[in-house]
């Protein structure tokens, strides 16, 4: 994914947070990683709260992953949540066990080989993203060693495209450790091929997109959206829109975002607007607060996305899986692009598939909101059936139960024991 045209074409502000355009700054970040993470890991003791030997590992790389897998840990006494040493899991940093990465340093002799090999196959992108190559070195070897030492019963993932998760997946294959995957957010056709022994996907949309990514490996079951179970009975029944949420992230340029908000607040003074920046969006929003004092705010670090959506009648956003979550709750969702990156146009295909309405200008957006302010249909949520396999079935709201049952059956009958 890091070497795709879509990734290279991301807005400069979005890339700056993860890979600075200035090569000197990239080098400084690499040196900081080497000093703080690699050398720092050597002197940082690991004291896990739980024994990892022979357990079912629930491997997480973010707070969202933790939220997506925690219900499995509660359902199985032999399941443990864990992450790589020093991996930032946000508010759950102290709650996860850690896999040691001290020996990662031993494999950095491979970096020149990997860099020049990728320079030959991928050209300038290897140079532009040499920091990503550096970060990825050593994960595979260290994780193979950890698997041999701890002999986990299986490893369950909720991310399938980060460098550390891909490394652990490949290490599991090499060591014969069974792997399962629980989808936690919408996917795109730019993801790696589905490569787990058991994949529990939300619906047909995810399966079709993974088929576009390449051959689908292992057993696949459609289980719906486990994280939405507790909220599906609280669908929005308001007959008209009065409260509008705006979800943004670092990919949405600030000037266009500000201009759109100013326009909407002026054009639709009867509506209440709430802005919810993505938790990784560290931009300074204070000038916007001062310019639009009536604008309300939602902190993604403190408020669950479903709790946020329960307070809204409509959602406006660009490329985010929040559209699907909103539609499930019968919140009127409108796709509106603040940016101009043509390669990410309708990235998840929500507009093309008819899950959400699309507006291509502020005027079209205001017109759509005015229409919903007159009448909001009571059956918008039905559009999400293609994305959530349990919607409208006896299993609606029971995706967690279905997921645990399938995992238990797989572990008891399908996944080999060492």
Where among 144, 160, 177 does a domain terminate? 177
pLDDT at 282: 83
Residue 188 inside a domain? The answer is no
Residue 413 inside a domain? The answer is no
Q: Are residues 172 and 63 in the same domain?
A: yes
Q: Are residues 262 and 131 in the same domain?
A: no
Look up residue 74 and give its two tokens.
């509660």
Q: Are residues 153 and 259 in the same domain?
A: no
pLDDT at 73: 96
Residue 222 inside a domain? The answer is no
Q: Are residues 172 and 255 in the same domain?
A: no
Distance from the first to the final alpha carbon of the chain: 33
Axis-axis angle for helices 254-267, 362-374 (nearest 10): 40
Indicate if the alpha-carbon torsion angle 349, 350, 352, 354 is positive or negative. Answer: positive
Residue 138 inside a domain? The answer is yes
Strand partners, 332: 314
pLDDT (tens digit per residue) in 40-67:
878 888 889 899 999 999 999 988 899 9
Q: Are residues 271 and 127 in the same domain?
A: no
Look up residue 241 and give its two tokens.
């829109």
- Tell me which residues of the chain have a pLDDT lower than 50: 417-418
| Nearest CA-CA partner of 201 in 399, 395, 352, 350 | 399
* 118/138 Cα distance (integer angstroms): 16
pLDDT (tens digit per residue) in 213-271:
999 999 999 999 999 999 999 999 999 999 999 999 888 989 999 999 999 999 999 99
- Number of folded domains that form the chain: 2
Q: Are residues 299 and 374 in the same domain?
A: yes
Q: Are residues 113 and 236 in the same domain?
A: no
Q: Are residues 252 and 159 in the same domain?
A: no
| pTM for this model (two decimals) | 0.89
Q: Are residues 38 and 159 in the same domain?
A: yes
Residue 255 inside a domain? The answer is yes
Cβ burial 251-273 (10 Å sphere, 16+ → b, else e):
bbbbebbbebbeebbeebeebbb
Q: Are residues 307 and 171 in the same domain?
A: no
Where among 177, 201, 217 does a domain terminate? 177
SS3 assignment for the chain = CCCCHHHHCCCHHHHHCCCCCCHHHHHHHHHHHHHHHHHHHHHCCCCCCCCCCCCEEEECCCHHHHHHHHHHHHHCCCEEEEEECCCCCHHHCCCCEEECCHHHHHHHHHHHHHHHHHHHHHCHHHHHCHHHHHHHCCHHHHHHHHHHHHCCCEEEECCCCCHHHHHHHHHHHHHCCCEEEECCCCCCCCCCCCCCCEEEECCHHHHHHHHHHCCCCCEEEECCCHHHHHHHHHCCCCCCCCEEEEEECCCCCHHHHHHHHHHHHHHCCCCEEEEEECCCCCCCCHHHHHHCCCCEECCCCCCCHHHHHHCCCEEEECCCCHHHHHHHCCCEEEEECCCCCHHHCCCCCHHHHCCCEEECCHHHHHHHHHHHHHCCCCCHHHHHHHCCCCCCCCCCCCHHHHHHHHHHHHHHHHCCCC
Residue 204 inside a domain? The answer is no
pLDDT at 418: 46
Q: Are residues 147 and 272 in the same domain?
A: no
pLDDT at 5: 77
Q: Are residues 242 and 167 in the same domain?
A: no
| Nearest CA-CA partner of 3 in 132, 178, 151 | 132
Q: What backbone torsions phi and psi does residue 374 show, to the nearest 5 degrees?
A: -85, -40
- State the CB neighbour count (10 A cutoff) for residue 155: 26
Where among 143, 177, 211 does a domain terminate? 177
Residue 185 inside a domain? The answer is no
Instruction: Say which CATH number the domain at 270 has.
Output: 3.40.50.2000
Residue 191 inside a domain? The answer is no
Q: Which domain holds residue 115?
A: 5-177
């Amino acid at each position: 994914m890091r070497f795709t045209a879509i990734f290279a074409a991301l807005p400069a502000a979005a890339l700056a947070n993860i890979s600075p355009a200035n090569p000197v700054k990239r080098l400084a970040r690499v040196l900081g990683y080497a000093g703080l993470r690699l050398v720092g890991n050597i002197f940082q003791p690991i004291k896990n709260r739980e024994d990892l030997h022979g357990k079912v590992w629930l491997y997480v790389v973010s707070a969202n992953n933790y939220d997506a897998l925690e219900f499995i840990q509660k359902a199985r006494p032999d399941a443990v949540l864990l992450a790589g040493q020093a991996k930032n899991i946000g508010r759950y940093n102290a709650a996860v066990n850690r896999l040691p990465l001290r020996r990662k340093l031993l494999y950095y002799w491979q970096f020149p080989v990997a860099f020049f090999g990728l320079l030959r196959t991928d050209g300038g992108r290897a140079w532009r993203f040499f920091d990503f190559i550096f970060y990825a070195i050593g994960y595979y070897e260290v994780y193979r060693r950890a698997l041999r030492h701890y002999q986990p019963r299986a490893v369950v993932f909720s991310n399938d495209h980060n460098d550390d998760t891909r490394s652990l997946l490949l290490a599991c294959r090499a060591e014969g450790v069974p792997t399962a995957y629980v989808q936690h957010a919408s996917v795109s056709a730019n993801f790696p091929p589905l490569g787990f022994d058991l994949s529990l996907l939300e619906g047909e949309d995810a399966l079709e997109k993974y088929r576009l990514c390449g051959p689908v490996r292992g057993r696949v079951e459609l289980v719906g959206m486990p994280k939405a179970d507790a909220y599906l009975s609280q669908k929005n029944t308001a007959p008209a829109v009065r409260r509008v949420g705006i979800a943004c992230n670092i990919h949405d340029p600030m000037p266009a975002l500000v201009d759109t908000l100013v326009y909407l607040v002026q054009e639709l003074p009867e509506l209440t607007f709430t802005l919810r920046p993505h938790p990784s969006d560290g931009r300074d929003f204070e000038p916007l607060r001062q310019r639009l004092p009536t604008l309300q705010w939602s902190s993604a670090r403190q408020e669950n996305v479903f709790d946020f959506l329960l307070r809204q009648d409509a959602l406006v956003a660009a490329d985010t899986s929040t559209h699907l979550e909103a539609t499930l709750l019968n919140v009127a969702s409108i796709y509106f692009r603040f940016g101009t990156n043509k390669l990410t146009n309708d990235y998840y295909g929500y507009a093309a598939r008819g899950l959400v309405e699309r507006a291509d200008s502020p005027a079209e957006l205001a017109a759509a909101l005015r229409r919903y302010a007159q009448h909001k249909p009571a059956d918008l949520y039905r559009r999400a059936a293609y994305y959530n396999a349990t919607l409208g079935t006896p299993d609606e709201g029971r995706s967690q139960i279905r997921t645990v049952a399938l995992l238990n059956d797989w572990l008891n009958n399908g996944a080999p024991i060492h």
